[in-house]
Amino acid sequence: VGFVIDLELCKKDGFCSQVCPAEIISMDGPQGSPAPVEDFEEVCLHCGHCLAVCPHGALTLEGVAPGDCPPIAKDLKIRPDQARQFLLGRRSIRRYKDKELERGQLEEILDIARQAPSGHNSQPVEWLVFSGREKVKEIAELVADWMGWMVQNMPEIALPLHMDRTLARFRAGGDPLMRGAPYLMVTHAHKDNGFAQSSSTIALTYVDLACYSLGLGACWAGYFYRAALAFPAMQQFLDLPEDHITYGAMFLGYAKYKYPRIPPRNPARVTWR
């Protein structure tokens, strides 16, 4: 079993047992130490909570030792007012500087996003990253083709969403589809994966927030997403693995403008019971 306790370090406080989502760590090991229950291997989510919560570094899980896991740096803890301003100050960015990102910055964004929560810790999200204005524009052209088809064939859906107007602006040389962004990040996963939609949405939200923290900006590519689900030419272009579909996308780059204020939003509609 890949669950190893260093009895010299373990204080038998039971933290690992308490936080385990599957409740598969008993305190029936040697000298009252934690021990895996019989069906541990089959049930374990591999979430690493037991390893991460131990203040004594006493637990090694599947060959991953405490020293392999980055410590939480106390001096990096942010105050509630900082967290609030950060979360409220994020905006959907639709104007970009003509400036490229380093590959390392894109990797950092994805390194943050891959740690977003996912159903049953299944981590189902995979990524397609398109780099360069030209390539993103090429994809915008496909979105425009889909819009043209929608306006022609499904006006009852297209017109209330003003697709005719958006398409006309695109054809006139604007870019209301990808906003001239230099990068597009697309998530995909198996079409039958029940955790993929929520996990993708959260991972992309992490992308959005990571961008903001790095002085970059991102925006949901809503039209692209709809085209990717419905338009064969787009699906051909994306060439996803067998049985995979798109679950969301964001375009991003260096934000051209800063927002010195937080815009108003509706009050929370809450029923307290």
Ligand X SMILES: Cc1cc2nc3c(=O)[nH]c(=O)nc-3n(C[C@H](O)[C@H](O)[C@H](O)COP(=O)(O)O)c2cc1C
Distance CA 235, CA 40 (A): 41
CB atoms within 10 A of CB 64: 14
Give the type of residue at 265.
R
Cβ density class 207-228: b for 16+ within 10 Å, e for less: bbbbbbeeebbbbbbebbbbbb
User: Cα torsion for 177, 98, 109, 242, to the nearest 10°?
Assistant: 40
209 or 221: whose CB is closer to ligand X? 221
57 or 222: whose CB is closer to ligand X? 222
In the bound complex, which residue of the shown chain has the CB atom lying closest to ligand X? 222
- 85 touches ligand X by CB under 6 A: no
Q: Considering only 79-87, 88-96, 132-140, 183-191, which stretch makes contact with ligand X by CB under 6 A?
A: 88-96
Distance CA 159, CA 151 (A): 7
- 127 touches ligand X by CB under 6 A: no
Contact map string, positions 5 to 44, toward ligand X, x by CB under 6 A = ----------------------------------------
210 or 219: whose CB is closer to ligand X? 219
Q: How many residues bind ligand X (CB under 6 A)?
A: 8
Q: Which of 91, 95, 137, 256 binds ligand X (CB under 6 A)?
A: 91
Contact map string, positions 38 to 77, toward ligand X, x by CB under 6 A = ----------------------------------------
Q: C-alpha angle 169/172/173, rounded to 5°?
A: 95
Q: Could you tell me the smallest distance in angstroms from the CB atom of residue 112 to ligand X?
A: 18
120 or 169: whose CB is closer to ligand X? 169
CA atoms within 13 A on the CB side of 65: 3
88 or 233: whose CB is closer to ligand X? 88
- 92 touches ligand X by CB under 6 A: yes
Q: Which of 12, 94, 120, 137 binds ligand X (CB under 6 A)?
A: 94
The H or E element containing residue 14 is none
* Burial zone of 169 (CB within 10 Å; 0-12 exposed, 13-18 middle, 19+ buried): middle
Interactions with ligand X, residue window 217-236 (CB under 6 A):
219-223
101 or 163: whose CB is closer to ligand X? 163
SS3 percent helix, strand, coil of the chain, rounded to 5, is: 40, 15, 40
Contact residues: ligand X, CB under 6 A: 91-92, 94, 219-223
